[in-house]
Amino acid sequence: MTTKNKTRWTCTTCNAQMLKWQGQCSHCHNWNTLVEELPTTHQDSSSCAVSLSDIELQEQERLQIDKAGWDRILGGGAVRGSITLLGGDPGIGKSTILLQTAEKLAKQNLKILYVCGEESVAQTSLRARRLNITHPLIYLYPETNLDHIKQQLSLLSPDVLIIDSIQIMFDPKLNSAPGSVIQVREVTAELMRIAKQSQITTFVIGHVTKSGDIAGPKVLEHLVDTVLYFEGNSHAHYRMVRSVKNRFGQTNELLILSMHSDGLKEVLNPSKLFLQENSITTPGSVVVPIVEGSGILLIELQALASSSPFSNPIRKTSGFDPNRFSLLLAVLEKRARIKLFSTDIFLSITGGLKITEPAADLGALLAVVSSLQNTLPPKDFICIGEVGLGGEIRQVPHIERRLKEGKLLGFKGAVLPEGQAASLPEEITKNFTLKEVKTIQDAIHLLL
């Protein structure tokens, strides 16, 4: 007697599974998040286990896109058979950048299938012509049905597949609406299987939620090989692509692009971008070198401190972790004996960049003190250092690379943690002033 297949209920928030519907998820305790899904049938595996010592390593073949930014952020190019997820806000340029990528690959005699599920062929063609893209090896296919897409893949045999977007694709065998948890998960899993078996390099566009996360189940990001986030404001001139997952390369790589009438173009020297309007001649402005993937960026931290008429002063940040900033202000008040209880404090990263690196701690506090005391920090100096709870300045990694980038861009010196200058080569220290500090009090007395 065969066992009857039972439907399952999956939480759209935490992906937990239940045997029956209930109003509240027992795992994440959110209400009305369970959706019904039917069990899927699985075929027997045709592969077998292989000893690790018997596997012959072969170098992964990569598709070179532009020999610069895109190849760097993907770890040296797009690996054949890989699947890359690109997420970003509406109107930020996801379709534009993948159309440009398609053209660069088509110029290498690679066949591209662009599945435009959100727009008609005429609309996508109009966008492509605005970007001066008319290559005959780029094929547009307006479809959202996965079965029809698989048939087109069999007929066309493309080298590259672009899905725009994953949230509106659906598998007709599944009894759920497009964009549901099971549809997004199963369609992505099927695309991954096709990519691996047919060695089709696949790019998938994903929607994001109001919080900035990829819409749909978190398992979507686990399934793909690479996850890229398109950051920035759709009304701003500059956009940033950041890699948060990469099975074939380094994560946290950053690609900065500028929007033009003919598409997105890479900014070749991003440090100059963030410092092009350097206002170091005003109090509250400090330059800090940060590590972004395999590169170094020099960014400007700007602070504004003003007296507050209210009992609860305002503390706001833009591009800097607010919890980290609150901790640093507490250290500054406790260890440096600077009263901040009646002061509104604002901190901003110029250029719209977001940083999480603790090496910017010292620069953030010096910018605050500079604005509070209305004094100028030394001109042409960069600040490096992590601030501990005791007020001590801790050493940071990649100190040589940070200083080298600062010297290359014309800075005359740097403030850095005690003990890190001794191991630096002469090419860094020559004609470059290094001031070591042990505590936040030392840094304030030395610079301000």
DSSP code per residue over 19-82: SS--SB-TTT--BS-EEEEPPPP-PPP------GGGPPP-PPPEE-SSSSHHHHHTTSSEETT-
State the DSSP code for 3.
P
Q: How far apart are CA 332 and CA 438, in angstroms?
A: 14
The correct CATH number of 61-268 out of 3.90.79.10, 1.10.150.120, 3.40.50.9100, 3.40.50.300 is 3.40.50.300
> Phi-psi category of 153—alpha, beta or left, where left has phi over 0 and alpha has psi -120 to 50?
alpha
pLDDT at 390: 95
pLDDT at 121: 93
How far is residue 6 CA from its own chain's centroid?
A: 39
pLDDT 10s digits, 159-176 = 999 999 899 999 999 888
Q: How far apart are CA 240 and CA 247, in angstroms?
A: 20
Q: Report which of 213, 209, 219, 151 is spatially closest to residue 183, judged by C-alpha positions.
A: 219
Going by the annotation, the residues of the binding site are 88-95
pLDDT at 415: 95
With a CB cutoff of 8 Å and minimum separation 6, the contacts of 11 are 17, 18, 25, 27, 28, 30, 33, 34
Q: How far apart are CA 190 and CA 195, in angstroms?
A: 9
Going by the annotation, the residues of the binding site for ATP are 88-95
pLDDT at 4: 52
pLDDT at 2: 46
The CA-based diameter of the chain, rounded to the nearest angstrom, is 85
Q: How far apart are CA 224 and CA 110, in angstroms?
A: 22
Q: Which residues of the chain have pLDDT under 70?
A: 1-6, 38-47, 211-212, 215-217, 233-236, 276-280
Q: How far apart are CA 258 and CA 269, in angstroms?
A: 12
pLDDT at 135: 94
Beta bridge partners of 348: 302, 318
pLDDT at 332: 96
Q: How far apart are CA 132 and CA 160, in angstroms?
A: 20
Question: What is the third-level CATH fold of 272-447?
Answer: Ribosomal Protein S5; domain 2 (3.30.230)
